[in-house]
Structure 1
Amino acid sequence: MSQRTIAVVGAVAVAALVLTSCSGGGGTASGNNQLDVDLSNLATTTEPGTAPIDEVTWNLPYEPLSIDPMLSFNYAENTVDANLCDSLLRLNPDLTTGPGLAESVDMPDDTTVVYSIRNDVSFWDGTPLTAADVVYSLARQSGEHNGDSYFGEYLTSVESVEQTGEHEVTVHLSEPDALFNQAMATAAGAIVSQAFAESAGPAFGTPQGGLMCTGPFSLESWSAGKSIVLAKNPNYWDESLIPKAEKLSFTFIADETTAVNALRAGDVDGQYFYLPPTGLNQLQGDSGATTTFGKSFVYFTLAGANQEGPFANPTIRQALLLAIDRQAIADVVFQGAAAPAPTLAGPDFWGDQAAIYEPAFAEFDVASDPEEAKRLIEGLPEAGETITIAVQGSSAVHEQTANLIQAAGESIGLKIETKVIPVEQYGNMYYDPAAREGIDAFFTTWYGNVTDPLDVYAVFTTDGASNFGNYTGVNDAVAEARATLDDEARAQLTVDIQQQVTEELPWLPLTYMPPILVQSDRISGATASIAYLYYPWAATIGGVE
């Protein structure tokens, strides 16, 4: 690496214009069953609300399992935590990275990262944020505790974390790691109160144990099965993000139709949808609500779930993807609110390396070719075995996509069955190997966390927590790229990784998906981009005068 100071302001993510090149000739979908969305002009923010407001009610698609930030690697959990817990760095709505609780970062060498911690920050209980809290928060996810965190793979290179000044923390890495510092803008870098967490013990982050962070909202209450209520933190250190809402209350409506009806009736003020629900086109036309589509790190994929079975054969995967009409999935299942994906990592990941990624991206297309698919699997014994795909209950997107894939598979001689998993249990697929027993593949709306395509492909490391089928084809290449701190050189290496992954298909790329933000017309200001998972998206919500 030529320079020894880390810039904490990243490049603006590339606009989604490239998506229109593979979206059937236009960025705006129309028609009776499609949504009004311009995929070439996705939003990062919405107009900030100007008026104070007593309470904002927000729906989550399920109740969080925990709000301990190191256990928040899912949509509902991060949607709540983003307003509660600040990280060392901050992922901004435009997908750049800026200062957070660390006002600056330096690297005296390739394996040493030094964070200068703000000296004007307090936890909700009034106790000051200290360097010791930062050391504790990183140490509880690294070293011998690395497996305790859902973000642990970002901290595998951490050798030690120590306080090196009154407001300074130094992280020593066992090897150069390009993803470590970038991840400090996610919940991997979230800082909690050491005293509170140690006092709460295993209950920390639960309805019984509570939470203590520094964010613009504090945790007022968590009534299990009913609601989570956050209260305005009037002493928040970032004066530009002191909330206008006195309270932010979360409900847990899992059923899509019920959630849409609650929004239309005004019982709920807003929701982020990571899949377009049935009835969203009617909601979009409702004068009482505004729908915004945001820049995104989200992609819809069929992920291999096991090392054995027919789907473990890459030729079966290649044939199935060739049979699938990804454009139809984007247009019909996603109602025009998605673009067919030729690779897993889409354009919004490219940052300032678009000149390298765009030509490589253009080498792939989304055309289906059933005849070639039939040729690929001719004579393969696995072609006669049943492929079982897990489908999330209460999800029309999962059900409809499964139907299209079943038909595509049948057209080339593959037998595909589905297994419906209740929405409350579907998250177990990610963490519990027992939940994946008997499953060959499952749908996931996977999201990356930082503006770097390597973040997508880094899941494919041997025995990695999210490498469900334990695909090992790019393990060494990922390690090399991750140890490359020069952005341009790392991009070149990542292009090669992308080429191999897209050929061998441990996960089948289906569509790129913008977050779908719905706000009642009495409020405005929520973050529209995928940054809402880590940025305090509700701090700018206010009433509309």
Structure 2
Amino acid sequence: MSLLSSYHSARLHVTRRTLIAAALAAGAVFMGPVPVQAAGKTTLILGMTIEPAGLDPTVGAPVAIGQVTWQNIFEGLTTIDAQGKVQPQLAESWTISPDGLTYTFKLRQGVTFHDGSSFDSSVAKFTIERARAADSVNPQKRYFSSVDAIEAPDASTLVVKLKSPTGNFLYWLGWPSSVMVSPKTAENNKITPVGTGPFKFVSWSKGSQVQLERNPNYWNREAAARLEKVTFRFINDPQAQAAALKSGDVDAFPEFAAPELMDSFKGDPNLVTVIGNTELKVVAGMNNARKPFNDKRVRQALMMAVDRKTLIEGAWSGYGTPIGSHYTPNDRGYIDLTGTYPYDPEKAKALLAEAGYGSGLSFSIKVPQMAYAQRSAQMLQAMFAEVGVTLTIETTEFPAKWVADVFKAGNYDMTIVAHAEPMDIDIYSRDPYYFNYRNPAFNEVLKQVDATTDEASQARLYGEAQQILAQDVPALYLFVMPKLGVWNRKLKGLWENEPIPSNVLRGVEWTD
């Protein structure tokens, strides 16, 4: 599971009246070198809040890995474009058998890795076999579980046979965890990544920055990088991020960490602010196997105790989109279900009483140290108090402690975290998973999604899945975090929206 990077958080004095004020205060094969660009600025310093723990997205889950390497260093058979659509990449085309079980890919010829080794069907076969192996540590290993056999009949043909239809197979092949890796360098990619992308790895100064340079032998002439050098600089303090942007020490922060500071950039002649969308769904997960959360009425009552609009104002300075299920407006088949259990404290209290908790209820919430999580938990604490529920906040270090206690051990009552994976509504069908939610009807709907590649059918089925979650409330669905971008006005080509966590730089350039 990939989750939102952590930010510095401000402690807020939590009362109903002061919550908001406190929160606000706190293609073609290329057979030669890419021509050098005309004179002009060709370097970029891009800021990120979190430094990745490694540089191989096929062995590590944190989104920061892909935000540095995906589509910059590494590429896949398919890719996801800025609109969230599947596009060909190292596979130039494919056919799917009528029964949906056999995918035959035509691979691009003349593609080489940064070390000069060739990409062909044997490499693609190695990559997928590695991802699905028994000892695989691929963060999305489950998405390769439907693969039955892989064949490489010739250098430019890859045949993947599935055990059962998998409607989103091409989409998953476009994820960071599915990028192609060379057998010669795969073991060292975590430190010295070697891919086929438009940029080559240069160096990593841990605690400070990662440097890339243009790949002069990139296979796709039309999509060759316009920048010669890129530096990813890691700055985790929001005030320091703002200072670096204003001074010009950093050219761009595509994901600025402090919404309460966005207004400070207004009127700056050198900077532009861009509010885009993401897949970051902030949800308060509940342990459905533990009392009182094994009673659906309690979960529904807690949902009605939450004023999403007020929570967004207090937790993220009003930036965010309320949601009523584990789905975002970016995704196909989205339905606005915030009206399923709208804010209604009186109905919440009545439902709690019906469930046997009329005299009160107490439980704890394990909260990562990130600002959005801390602030959201404090807002929930105040709102729950209004319906007779006492919420105790326990700050939990993320990722290590949270992953150990909540994600793996399931030792928690309630927690809060932002789920960053696109289209990850299927997590509620996984067993085990930290929600401990089990619903055969929901699982059946997702099986039907996998059985078809027709987008209209998938959209309808995803709508059914959303409605089941909105009714059952295995987690409190709060809001989708926005993509708060701040960058130099002369910089063009950065993605405004984020259908997948990334910093795609091949089309980025400076203009006059």
**TM-score tier after normalising by the smaller chain length:** 0.7 to 0.9
Q: State the alpha-carbon separation in 2 of the partners of residues 372 and 305 from structure 1.
A: 23
Q: State the alpha-carbon separation in 2 of the partners of residues 122 and 186 from structure 1.
A: 20
Q: State the alpha-carbon separation in 2 of the partners of residues 294 and 491 from structure 1.
A: 23
Alpha carbons of 1:518 and 1:427: their partners in 2 closer, same or farther (altered >3 Å)? farther
TM-fit CA distance, 1:381: 5.9
Specify the code of the residue in structure 1 equivalent to 2:505: A
Matched, 1:487 2:469: no
Q: State the alpha-carbon separation in 2 of the partners of residues 311 and 284 from structure 1.
A: 45
Is there any run of 5+ residues in structure 1 with no aligned partner, and where? 1-30, 35-48, 351-356, 450-454
TM-fit CA distance, 1:247: 1.7
Contact 1:312 1:469 in 2 (8 A): no
Q: What's the counterpart of residue 418 of structure 2?
A: 445
Question: 1:432-472 deviations in whole A, cap 9, x for unaligned?
Answer: 757766432332222343xxxxx3321112325xx312211
Alpha carbons of 1:311 and 1:289: their partners in 2 closer, same or farther (altered >3 Å)? farther
Q: What's the counterpart of residue 57 of structure 2?
A: 69
Matched, 1:205 2:173: no
Specify the code of the residue in structure 2 equivalent to 1:175: S
Q: Which moved more, 1:375-384 or 1:438-447?
A: 375-384
Q: TM-score w.r.t. structure 1 length? A: 0.80
TM-fit CA distance, 1:485: 3.0
TM-fit CA distance, 1:111: 0.7
TM-fit CA distance, 1:500: 1.1
Residues 73-152 of structure 1 correspond to what in structure 2 (within 5 A)? 73-82=61-70, 83-109=72-98, 110-145=100-135, 148-152=137-141
Matched, 1:325 2:290: no
Specify the code of the residue in structure 1 equivalent to 2:506: A
Give the root-mean-square deviation of aligned CA atoms: 2.8
One of 381, 384, 394 as aligned partner of 1:419: 394
Secondary structure of 1:95's aligned partner: coil
Alpha carbons of 1:363 and 1:420: their partners in 2 closer, same or farther (altered >3 Å)? closer
Q: What's the counterpart of residue 346 of structure 1?
A: 328
Q: State the alpha-carbon separation in 1 of the partners of residues 323 and 407 from structure 2.
A: 30
Q: What's the counterpart of residue 225 of structure 2?
A: 243
Alpha carbons of 1:498 and 1:482: their partners in 2 closer, same or farther (altered >3 Å)? same
Q: State the alpha-carbon separation in 1 of the partners of residues 400 and 494 from structure 2.
A: 26
Secondary structure of 1:93's aligned partner: coil
Specify the code of the residue in structure 1 equivalent to 2:56: D
Alpha carbons of 1:206 and 1:363: their partners in 2 closer, same or farther (altered >3 Å)? closer
Question: 1:269-306 deviations in whole A, cap 9, x for unaligned?
Answer: 21232764431221354333211122433322222357
Specify the code of the residue in structure 2 equivalent to 1:57: I
Contact 1:406 1:415 in 2 (8 A): yes
Matched, 1:514 2:461: no
Contact 2:315 2:379 in 1 (8 A): no
Q: State the alpha-carbon separation in 2 of the partners of residues 526 and 505 from structure 1.
A: 36
Secondary structure of 1:327's aligned partner: helix
Question: 1:391-413 deviations in whole A, cap 9, x for unaligned?
Answer: 33251x32322121101111111
Q: What's the counterpart of residue 527 of structure 1?
A: 495
Residues 174-323 of structure 1 correspond to what in structure 2 (within 5 A)? 174-197=163-186, 200=187, 204-207=188-191, 210-273=192-255, 276-304=258-286, 307-323=289-305
Question: 1:231-259 deviations in whole A, cap 9, x for unaligned?
Answer: 11122122233222222112222222222
Q: State the alpha-carbon separation in 2 of the partners of residues 105 and 432 from structure 1.
A: 43
Alpha carbons of 1:262 and 1:393: their partners in 2 closer, same or farther (altered >3 Å)? farther
TM-fit CA distance, 1:100: 0.7
Q: What's the counterpart of residue 4 of structure 1?
A: none
Alpha carbons of 1:59 and 1:390: their partners in 2 closer, same or farther (altered >3 Å)? farther
Q: State the alpha-carbon separation in 2 of the partners of residues 497 and 481 from structure 1.
A: 10
Alpha carbons of 1:159 and 1:220: their partners in 2 closer, same or farther (altered >3 Å)? same
Contact 2:210 2:232 in 1 (8 A): yes
TM-fit CA distance, 1:533: 2.8
Contact 2:66 2:501 in 1 (8 A): yes
TM-fit CA distance, 1:484: 2.8
Q: State the alpha-carbon separation in 1 of the partners of residues 159 and 310 from structure 2.
A: 50
Matched, 1:157 2:159: no
Alpha carbons of 1:70 and 1:387: their partners in 2 closer, same or farther (altered >3 Å)? farther
Contact 1:52 1:244 in 2 (8 A): no
Contact 1:329 1:340 in 2 (8 A): no
Secondary structure of 2:351's aligned partner: helix
Q: What's the counterpart of residue 437 of structure 2?
A: 471
Alpha carbons of 1:439 and 1:472: their partners in 2 closer, same or farther (altered >3 Å)? same
Contact 1:72 1:150 in 2 (8 A): yes
Alpha carbons of 1:382 and 1:139: their partners in 2 closer, same or farther (altered >3 Å)? farther
Alpha carbons of 1:57 and 1:189: their partners in 2 closer, same or farther (altered >3 Å)? same
TM-fit CA distance, 1:215: 0.8
TM-fit CA distance, 1:183: 0.9
Alpha carbons of 1:434 and 1:506: their partners in 2 closer, same or farther (altered >3 Å)? closer
Contact 1:51 1:544 in 2 (8 A): no
Q: State the alpha-carbon separation in 2 of the partners of residues 456 and 223 from structure 1.
A: 33
Question: 1:79-108 deviations in whole A, cap 9, x for unaligned?
Answer: 112211011112111222211110001112
TM-fit CA distance, 1:382: 6.9
Q: State the alpha-carbon separation in 2 of the partners of residues 432 and 85 from structure 1.
A: 33
Alpha carbons of 1:446 and 1:411: their partners in 2 closer, same or farther (altered >3 Å)? same
Q: State the alpha-carbon separation in 2 of the partners of residues 278 and 218 from structure 1.
A: 36
Matched, 1:460 2:436: no
Specify the code of the residue in structure 1 equivalent to 2:323: A
Contact 1:154 1:188 in 2 (8 A): no
Q: What's the counterpart of residue 353 of structure 1?
A: none
Alpha carbons of 1:51 and 1:115: their partners in 2 closer, same or farther (altered >3 Å)? farther
Q: State the alpha-carbon separation in 1 of the partners of residues 281 and 198 from structure 2.
A: 30
Count of aligned pairs between the two proteins: 474
Alpha carbons of 1:367 and 1:381: their partners in 2 closer, same or farther (altered >3 Å)? closer
Alpha carbons of 1:501 and 1:245: their partners in 2 closer, same or farther (altered >3 Å)? same
Contact 1:297 1:447 in 2 (8 A): yes
Structure with the higher fraction of residues in helix conformation = 1
Q: State the alpha-carbon separation in 2 of the partners of residues 435 and 263 from structure 1.
A: 38
Contact 1:322 1:368 in 2 (8 A): yes
Question: 1:416-442 deviations in whole A, cap 9, x for unaligned?
Answer: 1222234xx336635775776643233
Q: State the alpha-carbon separation in 2 of the partners of residues 61 and 72 from structure 1.
A: 18
Contact 1:294 1:515 in 2 (8 A): yes
Q: Which moved more, 1:431-440 or 1:397-406?
A: 431-440
Secondary structure of 2:233's aligned partner: strand
Q: Kindly, what percent of the aligned residue pairs are identical?
A: 23
